[in-house]
Amino acid sequence: MKYIYGPIKSRRLGLSLGLSLSTDKICDLDCIYCQWGSVGSTVSERKEYAKAFEIIAELKSWIKINPQEFKELKFVTLSGLGEPTLNTSIGEIIDQARAITGAKIAVITNSTLLGDPAVRKGIVKADLIVPSLDAVKEQIFKQIDRPNADIKLNEIIEGLIALRKEFRGKIWLEIMLVAGVNDDLQHIEELKKVIELINPDKIQLNSPVRRPAEKDISAVERSKLEKIREILGNKAEIV
């Protein structure tokens, strides 16, 4: 199948079926820690990189082939190879996936396009949004996430704050921490101030464990992750 992966049983979501909204790694970031490897050339244009009707047709086919797993399905998660919000049909796909499966819908996003009201309008239909925020300093943002030239950090932060005001579901803010890049405790204190404005339901701390895009990337030691968790407060957890 081109668009479906899994299902995957996770501690966070239970049995979750993944939908990729593109067939290639279409992304506006080229993160140094990405498990899919370097994207090469980033894009920022929103368009229908994969047709909604093709994705939904494949979902219907999966249900017919896997009736038992379908019965146990808790979430349909929009994520995959690239950034799902780059696909202009994301809102339609959320609506149809929910109608077909009856499952809850999760969107995993790098947050880059949340400053666009049209993007927020599409994804607020979900039940759970897992956005990322790896940095609040421009230099660190460019070092770790290597954004397309059109992507602005201040717009990401403003978009996350706006999303919280408009979205009635759960927001689990994910932070990917890379040793020596964005794990400085002074940066974490500044990150905390921004997170307080965003007001997510959870803060999920992660560090690369799979083979990243760049070879010299190191995970943050567990003891330091615990220290960062303490700084960020009761909503923070290490995943």
Measured distance CA(4)–CA(154) in Å, rounded: 33
Cα–Cα distance, 143 to 197 (Å, whole number):
24
Whole-prediction pTM: 0.94
Domains delineated in the chain: 4-172 (3.20.20.70)
Question: What is the full per-residue pLDDT of the chain (239 aa) written as tens digits?
Answer: 899 998 988 877 889 999 999 988 899 999 999 887 787 789 999 999 999 999 999 999 999 999 999 999 999 999 878 899 999 999 999 999 999 999 999 999 999 999 999 999 999 999 999 999 999 999 999 999 999 999 999 999 999 999 999 999 999 999 999 999 999 999 999 999 999 999 999 999 999 876 655 667 899 999 999 999 999 999 999 98
Question: Rounded to an integer, what distance in angstroms lies between the CA atom of residue 182 and that of residue 197?
Answer: 20
Please compute, for residue 6, the number of CA atoms within 13 A of its CA located in the half-sphere on the CB side. Answer: 24
